[in-house]
Amino acid sequence: TIYNFGSINLDHLYQLDHFVRPGETMASNSYQCLLGGKGANQSVALAKAGARVKHVGAIHYNDQAIIKQLESLGVDTALIEKIDVPTGHAIIQLNKEAENSIILYQGANHALTEEQVDQVLSQASAGDWVLLQNETNLIEYTMRKAQEHGVKVAFNPAPMDAELTKKVLGFVDLLIVNEVEAMDLIGTSDIDSTIAAFPKAYPELTVLITLGKAGVCYFSGKESAGKEKLFVKAFSVKAVDTTAAGDTFIGFCLASLMNGDDITQSITRACAASAICVTRLGAASSIPTQDEVTAFLAK
Ligand code: ADP
């Protein structure tokens, strides 16, 4: 089982001719309300990839439709609290140039309590994983408790907080970052020198760096994982929307590793899943199924 301590957001999307200016009131050309949040997206990707995923988080008690939607996608929602705090949400303006401007409200995503963490982890056993992004609270506490219970920790520090991330790296069994997050962590503005610097700066760490359409880089500092270095190329596809590419990658890669596949197989499956994702519009709705990934790889 993988316990994903993750954000759940309602993404309110408005298509506008231009971003609203100070003092301006403007009618929107269209409106959509979609399930989002890196946490929820990664739970959906894990479930679609065939993993047993229990999402840990909170929403407002009036937003039960979210629970139904996550359940219908295969996510176990028993550990999602229904509380008297607004559900996390994003107000997203999309202009004609397809740029966005986003207001984020954390709300219930920051309502996790130490008691809840303790209760969840008391059900976990060795062989289980905990997954965290950086959109919820009590990250360090949760990791420390996971380690005490012998549960492995995967961390996707997005949005990046370099100070927090450096502080908790000792608890992390697998770090997953994109190009920008990797550069922020190393403190350089060039990806090639960042990749070269990573194993030197963090010799003990196992890390996956996703490089967009270039592919994925993997370092394993741990002796138990064989001190490997790998580079896997992305699949060549026509990208139309890269939203949730990273979340899809993380879900499929972890599901594959938990299924006993080796790291090269897991990265390859995850690259195929995220390549399909970028050919489709949308976030959670663009994440493919296991069968679609298998068919893609058989081509
Ligand atoms: P994030 O969405 O977190 O910024 P990336 O952009 O690195 O993450 O994308 C994650 C993975 O998705 C990549 O490692 C790659 O396998 C795949 N991917 C992203 N963009 C493309 C693309 N244009 N073509 C093919 N694969 C892509």
Is 23 marked as binding a ligand? Answer: no
Q: Whose CA is nearest to atom 24 of ligand 1?
A: 213
- Asked if residue 157 has its Cβ within 6 Å of ligand 1, the reply is no
- Looking at residue 284, its pLDDT comes to 87
Angle at Cα 180 formed by Cα 296 and Cα 43, nearest 5°?
50
Catalytic residue among 190, 247, 261, 262: 247
Mutation test of ligand 1: which of 180, 278, 280, 281 has the most ligand atoms closer than 8 Å to its C-beta?
Answer: 278
In a domain, residue 285? The reply is: yes
Helix 245-258 vs helix 38-48: crossing angle, to nearest 10: 50
- Asked if residue 195 has its Cβ within 6 Å of ligand 1, the reply is no
Residue found under tokens 């979609």: 34
CA 77 – ligand 1 centroid, Å = 28
Tokens of 2: 């993988």
Domain of 200 in residue numbering reads as 2-7+37-86+108-298
- Beta-bridge partners for 94: 15, 100
In a domain, residue 29? The reply is: no
In a domain, residue 250? The reply is: yes
- Asked if residue 234 has its Cβ within 6 Å of ligand 1, the reply is yes
Q: Whose CA is nearest to atom 21 of ligand 1?
A: 213
- What DSSP string describes 22-89? TT-----SEEEEEEE-HHHHHHHHHHHTT--EEEEEEEETT-HHHHHHHHHTT-B-TTEEEESSPPEE
Helices and strands: H and E segment counts in the chain: 10, 13
Q: Whose CA is nearest to atom 13 of ligand 1?
A: 212
- Asked if residue 136 has its Cβ within 6 Å of ligand 1, the reply is no
- Asked if residue 271 has its Cβ within 6 Å of ligand 1, the reply is yes
The reply to whether omega before 159 is within 30° of 0 (cis) is yes
Considering its fold, how many domains does the chain have in total?
1
- Per-block mean pLDDT, blocks of 10 residues, the chain (299 long): 97 94 96 95 98 98 97 98 97 90 96 97 94 98 97 97 97 97 94 91 94 96 74 95 94 97 97 96 90 96
In a domain, residue 294? The reply is: yes
The percent of the chain in helix, strand and coil, each rounded to the nearest 5, is 40, 25, 35
Q: Cα separation of 276 and 164, whole Å? A: 33
Is 109 marked as binding a ligand? Answer: no
CA 27 – ligand 1 centroid, Å = 34
In a domain, residue 97? The reply is: no
- Looking at residue 45, its pLDDT comes to 98
236: DSSP letter: -
CATH of the domain at 62: 3.40.1190.20
76 catalytically annotated: no
Q: Whose CA is nearest to atom 27 of ligand 1?
A: 213
